Structure 1
Amino acid sequence: MTSSDKAENKAEEIKGQAKEKLGEATGNEQWEAEGKSEQAKGSIKQAGEKVKDAVKGVFDR
């Protein structure tokens, strides 16, 4: 996983956390749900990149 991929995925998670908290604070359920969704997407992307790295490591041996 490249460092730019890591940064983008982490940024998406942080953006989702902020949106979720803002939604909670304002009572906006849509923002809250979108924030949770963005966090999940970022986490899933990171997990996928880790799998790619693991597979690449096996084939590089």
Structure 2
Amino acid sequence: MIDKKLLDILACPLCKSPLIYDKSKQELICKADRIAFPIRDDIPVMLEDEARELTSDEIDALKK
């Protein structure tokens, strides 16, 4: 689980937008770039090469 204080200061390394924590998938999501960064062993992996693109369904779900 990501600490709320840590989540408040983390930003997307690509565009500097705020991130959304997805607890069920253990990912940090950047809506602006439509990518998700993995969290491994409670450590966010904020590398572009490790990020995955969000599907259109995932993007639509974020808009709700």
Q: What TM-score do you get using the length of structure 2 for normalisation? A: 0.23
Task: Please say which structure displays the higher CA radius of gyration.
Answer: 1
Q: What TM-score do you get using the length of structure 1 for normalisation? A: 0.24
| Relative contact order, higher structure (CA 8 A, sep 6+) | 1
**Structure showing the higher helix proportion among its residues:** 1
